[in-house]
């Protein structure tokens, strides 16, 4: 407690926070794990701040060209783009609706569709595609273009990339599993049709890397299931597709079955192909499947589960407990019991995935931290004819991170250093695996592309 006349500690003071963290580490049951988690989170926060400072190169003229090609010329304020207006007219005509019908109003549009006998209960794409009516084609196209216009249209360009850089606003650990979130600009939902505007500076290039089948590899390492880890291990210096490797073990018959089955194991799929192949996967990889099953059962009991580095899942709230309790009342009916069972299974699916997705987020943080350190150690481009980039100092002459999306990173680098950057990004993935799982023999291979346009990174 502060003494008389002493101001209380500022909760935002870095020293106060550091002291609290060190105390938490000291009092924890596994200080090594928690220390690594805090270090990774801190490094991730620094990387996020640096990516905001440097910005992702963004060509406004190309973005405008993309929008004009798709929507027509930029409209005056308050008006729809020409293509959207033409589609709106087609929608009204197909529904025999008045010119006042606003296709952006879902209640009005559904009412008009009901009146016209379309038979739609919602405006979800998968449901509309099942219907046979002249309004369906223009409506689906309208919805797609409207999403582009509202999410990444001219207003987005003016707001988020006015100076040739998209400065995303990441929230490190903003999701309960430890994944990042974003407070604006849609950094984690950057659509492919606008990525053509992401072009490197003259004399520079992008090194784009993403981890292949990260979550199943994390599951193999978490559970120490050596047979599953071997299914994804590189052979003769070449990376192995883990799902193809699972097929090679004889566990399932096709890559699609391997993928659907593993996703079902990690996310709680209980129907269709997932339910059919899960027993076979459980026999082939008992430790891996047992780990997620135990996490699911713990969640169904309302218990806490933890990631590799000790991030804990939240407990279900009071409403969960109330629904569970009501199912045991003497006068509880079938509906109350059904609600309780459904809620129990739902929370079990959450904890089942929490341990895997949360640990994958920790691996990605360690990867970013290692990349960040390695890029700084590479230093500046000192080759003949080196051209400074357009990023602000200190990143105008050295490679730097500019984008991160769960299991993918983008580095903006002087072209002369691109090969070295690719090597360091791969080495960082290996280091992240060692930090989390020690000498357990699991591979984390990357797909790496060197390109001047982000849209071309995955061909």
Give the residue from 290, 216, 252 showing the smallest Cα distance to 442: 216
What structural domains does the chain harbor? 14-58+164-214+361-456 (3.30.70.370), 68-158 (no CATH)
* CA proximity to 200, closest of 40, 415, 404: 415
Report the pLDDT value the prediction gives residue 330, as an integer from 0 to 100.
63
Mean pLDDT, contiguous 10-residue spans, the chain (459 residues): 50 82 87 92 96 97 98 95 97 96 95 93 92 96 96 96 95 94 90 94 97 95 96 78 94 94 89 88 96 96 94 88 72 73 88 97 97 97 92 97 96 97 98 96 95 89
Before 80, cis peptide (omega within 30)? no
3-class DSSP assignment, residue 207: strand
- Distances from the Cα of 56 to the Cα of 195, 197, 257, 263, 439, angstroms: 11, 10, 37, 32, 36
Q: How many residues does the chain have?
A: 459
CB 183 within 8 A of CB 413: no
CB atoms within 10 A of CB 146: 19
| 295/41 Cα distance (integer angstroms) | 24
Query: Per DSSP, what are the bridge partners of residue 401?
Result: 411
pLDDT of residue 4: 47
| Structure tokens, 418 | 């691109």
3-state SS, 44-81, equals: HHHHHHHHHHHCEECCHHHHHHHHHHHHCCCCCCCCCC
From CA 170, how far away is CA 437, in angstroms rounded?
Answer: 27
> How does pLDDT run across 109-132, given as a tens digit for each residue?
999 999 999 988 899 999 999 999
Structure tokens at 175: 């999701």
pTM for the model: 0.90
Structure tokens at 275: 């339910």
Report the DSSP beta bridge partners of residue 182.
170
Q: Are 400 and 412 in contact (CB under 8 A)?
A: yes
- Tell me the C-alpha distance between 420 and 394, whole Å: 19
Q: Which residue has the tokens 């099942």?
A: 130
CA gyration radius for the chain?
26
């Amino acid at each position: 407690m502060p003494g008389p006349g002493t101001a209380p500690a500022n909760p935002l003071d870095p020293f106060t926070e550091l002291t609290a963290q060190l105390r938490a580490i000291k009092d924890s049951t596994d200080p090594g794990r928690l220390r690594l988690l805090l270090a990774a989170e801190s490094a991730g926060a620094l990387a996020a701040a640096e990516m905001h400072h440097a910005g992702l190169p963004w060509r406004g003229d190309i973005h405008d060209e993309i929008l004009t090609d798709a929507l027509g010329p930029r409209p005056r304020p308050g008006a729809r783009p020409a293509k959207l207006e033409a589609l709106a007219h087609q929608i009204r005509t197909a529904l025999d609706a008045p010119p006042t019908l606003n296709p952006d109003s879902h209640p009005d549009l559904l009412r008009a569709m009901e009146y016209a006998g379309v038979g739609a209960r919602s405006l979800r794409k998968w449901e509309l595609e099942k219907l046979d009516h002249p309004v369906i084609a223009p409506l689906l196209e309208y919805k797609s273009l409207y999403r582009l216009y509202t999410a990444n249209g001219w207003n987005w360009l003016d707001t988020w990339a006015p100076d040739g850089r998209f400065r995303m606003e990441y929230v490190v650990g903003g999701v309960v599993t430890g994944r990042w979130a974003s407070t604006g600009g849609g950094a984690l939902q950057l659509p492919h049709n606008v990525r053509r505007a992401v072009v490197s500076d003259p004399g520079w290039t992008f090194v784009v890397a993403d981890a292949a089948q990260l979550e199943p590899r994390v599951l193999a390492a978490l559970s120490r299931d050596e047979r599953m880890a071997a299914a994804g291990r590189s052979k003769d210096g070449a990376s192995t597709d883990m799902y193809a490797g699972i097929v090679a073990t004889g566990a399932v018959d096709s890559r699609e079955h391997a993928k659907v089955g593993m996703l079902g194991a990690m996310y709680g799929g209980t129907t269709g192909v997932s339910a059919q192949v899960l027993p076979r996967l459980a026999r082939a990889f008992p430790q891996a499947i047992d780990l997620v099953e135990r996490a699911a059962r713990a969640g169904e009991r309302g218990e806490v589960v933890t990631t590799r580095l000790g991030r804990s899942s939240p407990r279900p709230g009071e409403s969960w407990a109330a629904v569970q309790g009501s199912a045991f009342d003497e006068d509880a009916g079938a509906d109350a019991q059904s609600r309780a069972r459904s809620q129990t299974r739902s929370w079990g699916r959450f904890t089942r995935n929490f341990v895997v997705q949360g640990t994958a987020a920790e691996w990605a943080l360690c990867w970013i931290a290692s990349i960040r350190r390695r890029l700084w150690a590479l230093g500046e481009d000192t080759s003949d004819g080196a051209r400074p980039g357009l990023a602000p100092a200190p990143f105008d002459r050295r490679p730097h991170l500019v984008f991160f999306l769960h299991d993918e990173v983008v580095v903006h680098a002087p072209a002369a250093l691109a090969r070295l950057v690719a090597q360091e990004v791969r080495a960082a993935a290996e280091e992240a695996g060692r930090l989390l799982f020690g000498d357990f023999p699991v591979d984390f291979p990357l797909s790496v592309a060197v390109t001047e346009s982000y849209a071309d990174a995955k061909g």
